[in-house]
């Protein structure tokens, strides 16, 4: 104790120095841990960078910024989608109330009005129809109460069928033999199977593809008019396939009447995307007078059409 008293300042200084050394050691230990953590993170980042640089394409380097290029291309694609959207305008449902909620009475009234309107438009355009034709809505034609959840899909299809029929009427086809759609309501189960397709609508990340089938009679010019109107429509129509045969042999699937030597079978079925097709039958040269180059005949035509409906946000 006497020594401590004689060297009190030395002892105090030594204690303070030991405390400072301990604090410095603890500080160094903490920094060492942080350094190790930072080094591990740096190594992981470097490994990720090496992995990305090894990919094709890579993110780029100081001269080529592929990430920025990808962002610019994405912007160009979205701008193109916005510009192309004007050619995929939605077909409004029938009826189309402001709130979007359709009641039984609204649909029944719109159904009767639309079917009557189509009958009158067909008569004005001299387009023959099957007797009392319901335009694929025969199952719903007399209903006043409809299955839950089926009104909105039915209203959408009624609007689409109306648009397709008006294109046929405007093209002045000779007759509409039938139109088929996808069943969308439990009420469709009671309808004739001839009104429905076995296909279903297909949805991807951009749109819904709703299939329809139209069978009508006319000449080659009528078919050209229908295809032209589908192509110039503001709605998104895709003609998937065309089936053509002489109208006189449509019921049996075979051409009627004698077949001239070298004349094609008269049945023509092809898809729009470039599949081979048979051309109309050419009449043989007569013994005298003007030569008949093309013997036009009434055709039975079936079109497989898909309506492209963009999803919200696209």
Same domain, yes or no: 3 and 144: no
What confidence score (pLDDT) does residue 66 get? 75
Residue 52: pLDDT band (50, 70, 90) is low
Same domain, yes or no: 25 and 167: no
Same domain, yes or no: 237 and 150: yes
Q: Which residues contact 280 (CB under 8 A, 6 or more apart)?
A: 220, 264, 268, 294, 295, 296, 297
Q: Which helix (DSSP H) or strand (DSSP E) does residue 49 occupy?
A: helix 8-53
Q: Residue 185 falls within a domain, yes or no?
A: yes
Q: Residue 74 falls within a domain, yes or no?
A: no
Q: Residue 112 falls within a domain, yes or no?
A: yes
3-class secondary-structure state, position 243: strand
Q: Residue 60 falls within a domain, yes or no?
A: no
Q: Residue 40 falls within a domain, yes or no?
A: no
What confidence score (pLDDT) does residue 42 get? 83
Same domain, yes or no: 246 and 156: yes
Domain range for 8 is: 1-31
Residues 127, 168 contacting (CB under 8 angstroms): yes
What sign does the dihedral 261-249-198-104 (CA atoms) show?
Answer: positive
Same domain, yes or no: 95 and 209: yes
Please say if the pLDDT value at position 25 is more than 50.
yes
Say which residue the tokens 């295809």 belong to.
227
Q: What's the predicted TM-score (pTM) here? A: 0.66
Please say if the pLDDT value at position 305 is more than 80.
yes
| Tens of pLDDT, residues 210-262 | 999 999 999 999 999 999 999 999 999 999 999 999 987 554 333 333 343 44
Same domain, yes or no: 15 and 101: no
| Tens of pLDDT, residues 76-87 | 888 887 787 788
Q: Residue 85 falls within a domain, yes or no?
A: no
Please say if the pLDDT value at position 203 is more than 80.
yes
Poorest-confidence range of 26-30, 67-71, 123-127, 266-270? 266-270
| Tens of pLDDT, residues 111-137 | 999 999 999 999 999 999 999 999 999
How many Cβ atoms are within 10 Å of 162's Cβ, its own excluded?
Answer: 21
Residue 19: burial class (beta carbons within 10 Å; 0-12, 13-18, 19+): exposed
Residue 287: pLDDT band (50, 70, 90) is low
Number of domains the chain contains = 2
Same domain, yes or no: 159 and 227: yes
Q: Residue 42 falls within a domain, yes or no?
A: no
DSSP at 65:
B
Q: Which tokens go with 103?
A: 């009641």
Same domain, yes or no: 103 and 192: yes
Q: Residue 156 falls within a domain, yes or no?
A: yes
Same domain, yes or no: 26 and 104: no
What confidence score (pLDDT) does residue 261 get? 41
Same domain, yes or no: 127 and 235: yes
Same domain, yes or no: 118 and 23: no
DSSP percent split of the chain into helix, strand, coil, nearest 5:
45, 15, 40
Same domain, yes or no: 144 and 240: yes
What confidence score (pLDDT) does residue 58 get? 65
Q: What is the CATH number of the domain that holds 230?
A: 3.30.70.60
Distance, in Å, from the CA atom of 256 to the CA atom of 246, rounded to the nearest integer, reads 8
């Amino acid at each position: 104790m006497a020594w401590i008293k004689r060297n009190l300042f030395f002892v105090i200084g030594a204690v303070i120095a030991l405390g400072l050394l301990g604090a410095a050691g603890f500080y160094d230990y903490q920094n060492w841990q942080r350094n190790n953590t930072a080094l591990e993170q740096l190594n992981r980042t470097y490994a990720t960078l090496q992995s990305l640089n090894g990919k094709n394409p890579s993110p780029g380097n100081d001269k080529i910024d592929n990430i920025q290029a990808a962002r610019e291309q994405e912007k160009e694609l979205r701008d193109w989608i916005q510009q192309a959207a004007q050619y995929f305008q939605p077909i409004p449902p029938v009826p189309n109330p402001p709130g979007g909620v359709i009641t039984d009475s609204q649909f029944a009234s719109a159904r009767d009005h639309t079917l009557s309107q189509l009958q009158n438009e067909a008569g004005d355009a001299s387009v023959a129809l099957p007797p009392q034709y319901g335009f694929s809505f025969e199952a719903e034609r007399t209903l006043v109460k409809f299955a839950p959840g089926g009104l909105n899909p039915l209203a959408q299809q009624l609007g689409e069928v109306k648009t397709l029929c008006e294109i046929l009427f405007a093209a002045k086809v000779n007759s509409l033999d039938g139109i088929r759609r996808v069943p969308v309501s439990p009420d469709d189960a009671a309808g004739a199977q001839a009104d429905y397709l076995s296909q279903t609508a297909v949805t991807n990340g951009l749109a819904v593809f709703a299939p329809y089938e139209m069978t009508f009679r006319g000449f080659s010019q009528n078919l050209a008019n229908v295809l032209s109107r589908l192509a110039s429509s503001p709605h998104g129509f895709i003609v998937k396939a065309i089936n053509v045969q002489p109208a006189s042999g449509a019921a049996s699937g075979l051409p009627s009447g004698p077949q001239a030597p070298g004349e094609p079978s008269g049945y023509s079925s092809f898809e729009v995307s470039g599949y081979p097709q048979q051309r109309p039958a050419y009449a043989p040269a007569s013994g005298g007078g003007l030569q008949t180059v093309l013997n036009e005949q009434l055709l039975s035509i079936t079109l497989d059409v898909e309506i492209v409906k963009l999803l919200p946000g696209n």
